[in-house]
């Protein structure tokens, strides 16, 4: 056999083998997901002893805005910056860690956590928080993942919902929420793919329960956000109907029923924008008018226990506001929630409004009652 023929055969075989192997593991320009797939699990190498809870544990939800605090990000807040430096992100993460250490939640639901993304200096924020805190386990599902987002210089993007726990996570799923139908195909391909992350938490001597973390669409102008809320409740209904307990929360991007203010177009308006005037198109800023959503949260409040019950919220709404888009302002609306199908300890809920500059969302925490085995 000639040398050329041998080389030809070897190269051809090598090509086929390598391509077959790699083709299954390679990343698409933007990542799509199955309807339900395994979440990604992180475990801390040097574990911290988890306490033996008495009868309750503290649950906290927080959209941490990938550690940029109230930074002027170009994608919201009328900002002009896309990229934040490693120094800025680490300072933001250290602030978040300080707050976590003050509240000392046992289970933490985080939204807008970045994994090796360009705009957050390629830091694996979940790994950083896990390694620098007392949590031992984490599960996450990406809600926006692309090798490159070819818009605004966002670059590589991997944003996720994450659940952190002191105790082992025995199973974890990423559940895909509906994609927006008000975007063109190419924009939708590279844009958010909102999701729910569901994890089963195992605490010795207590019944296991599910932690469910959702981040719904903020800017959809069609019924996508409504679908997300329906899908979120479906997940909770399925857990409840199977006889299990859950704590569920997240940034649901809509306001509670009976809110005094439902339209935030003027609060959120940038200097070059105009709304509500004849000829303005659109009439409302995307994601700022909640008036059509007034009753979208009713089924959740009806069937499950919100950590901030509706009557408590309605008695003093400002005390439970968790969000603002304006960099220098106090919280002006409630978008972040905790629900359970079991029990919150009475009077345990705290809306941490004092953490004013660590994100554009305030965390909410409450004590969840455990059930002995």
Torsion of CA 20, 22, 23, 29, to 10 degrees: -170
Alpha helices in 222-338 (DSSP H): 224-241, 265-268, 298-303, 310-315
Nearer to another protein (CB atom), residue 185 or residue 279: 185
From 61, 117, 289, 334, residue interacting with another protein (rule: CB under 8 A): 117
Our finding on whether 90 is near another protein (CB under 8 A) is: no
- Alpha-carbon span 321 to 58, nearest angstrom: 20
Q: At what angle do helices 125-132 and 86-103 cross, to 10 degrees?
A: 40
- Say if residues 190 and 150 touch (Cβ distance below 8 Å): yes
- Alpha-carbon span 104 to 357, nearest angstrom: 19
Overall residue count recorded for the chain in this entry: 373
- Report the Cα–Cα distance between both ends of the chain, in Å, rounded: 73
Our finding on whether 78 is near another protein (CB under 8 A) is: no
From 2, 52, 277, 373, residue interacting with another protein (rule: CB under 8 A): 2
DSSP 286: T
Contact track, another protein, 195-234, x by CB under 8 A: ----------------------------------------
Our finding on whether 185 is near another protein (CB under 8 A) is: no
- Alpha-carbon span 232 to 216, nearest angstrom: 9
Nearer to another protein (CB atom), residue 25 or residue 241: 25
- Say if residues 196 and 177 touch (Cβ distance below 8 Å): yes
Stretch that binds another protein, among 1-9, 47-55, 59-67, 191-199 (CB under 8 A): 1-9
Our finding on whether 40 is near another protein (CB under 8 A) is: no
From 36, 40, 95, 155, residue interacting with another protein (rule: CB under 8 A): 155
Our finding on whether 15 is near another protein (CB under 8 A) is: yes
The CA distances from residue 112 to 12, 75, 359, in Å, are 45, 13, 10
Stretch that binds another protein, among 113-121, 255-263, 277-285, 310-318 (CB under 8 A): 113-121
Quote the longest CA-to-CA distance of the chain: 89
Our finding on whether 348 is near another protein (CB under 8 A) is: no
Nearer to another protein (CB atom), residue 273 or residue 354: 273
Our finding on whether 50 is near another protein (CB under 8 A) is: no
Token readout for 32 is 């799509």
Our finding on whether 6 is near another protein (CB under 8 A) is: no
From 108, 119, 252, 366, residue interacting with another protein (rule: CB under 8 A): 119
From 96, 110, 121, 308, residue interacting with another protein (rule: CB under 8 A): 121
Token readout for 12 is 């051809």
User: Which residues of this chain interact with another protein, rule CB under 8 A?
Assistant: 2-4, 7-8, 11, 15, 18-19, 22-23, 25-27, 74, 80-83, 85, 116-119, 121-122, 147-148, 150-156, 187
């Amino acid at each position: 056999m000639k040398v050329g023929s041998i080389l030809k055969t070897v190269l051809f075989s090598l090509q086929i083998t390598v391509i077959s192997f790699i083709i299954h593991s390679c990343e698409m320009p933007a990542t799509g997901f199955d309807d339900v797939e395994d979440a990604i699990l992180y475990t801390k190498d040097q574990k911290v002893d988890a306490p033996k809870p008495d009868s309750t544990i503290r649950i906290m939800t927080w959209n941490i805005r990938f550690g940029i605090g109230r930074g002027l990000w170009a994608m919201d807040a009328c900002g002009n910056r896309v990229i934040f430096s490693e120094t800025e992100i680490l300072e933001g993460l250290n602030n978040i860690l300080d707050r976590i250490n003050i509240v000392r939640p046992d289970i933490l639901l985080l939204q807008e956590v970045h994994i090796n993304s360009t705009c957050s200096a390629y830091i694996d924020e979940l790994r950083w928080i896990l390694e620098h805190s007392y949590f031992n386990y984490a599960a996450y599902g990406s809600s926006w993942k692309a090798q490159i987002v070819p818009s605004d210089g966002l670059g590589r993007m991997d944003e996720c919902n994450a659940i952190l726990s002191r105790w082992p996570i025995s199973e974890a799923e990423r559940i895909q929420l509906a994609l927006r139908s008000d975007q063109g195909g190419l924009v939708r391909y590279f844009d958010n793919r909102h999701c729910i992350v569901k994890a089963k938490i195992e605490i010795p001597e207590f019944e296991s329960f599910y932690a469910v973390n959702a981040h719904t669409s903020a800017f959809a102008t069609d019924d996508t956000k409504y679908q997300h809320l329906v899908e979120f409740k479906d997940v909770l209904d399925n857990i409840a109907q199977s006889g299990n307990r859950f704590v569920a929360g997240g940034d649901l991007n809509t306001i509670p029923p009976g809110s005094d203010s439902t339209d935030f177009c003027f609060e959120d308006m940038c200097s070059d924008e105009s709304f509500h005037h004849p000829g303005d198109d659109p009439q409302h800023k995307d994601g700022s008018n909640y008036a059509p959503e007034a009753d979208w949260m009713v089924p959740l409040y009806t069937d499950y226990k919100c950590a901030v019950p509706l009557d408590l919220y309605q008695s003093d709404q400002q005390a439970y506001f968790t969000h603002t888009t304006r960099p220098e302002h106090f919280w002006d609306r409630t978008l972040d929630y905790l629900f359970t199908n079991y029990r919150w300890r009475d009077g345990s809920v705290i809306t941490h409004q004092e953490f004013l500059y660590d994100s554009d969302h305030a965390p909410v925490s409450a004590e969840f009652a455990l059930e002995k085995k």
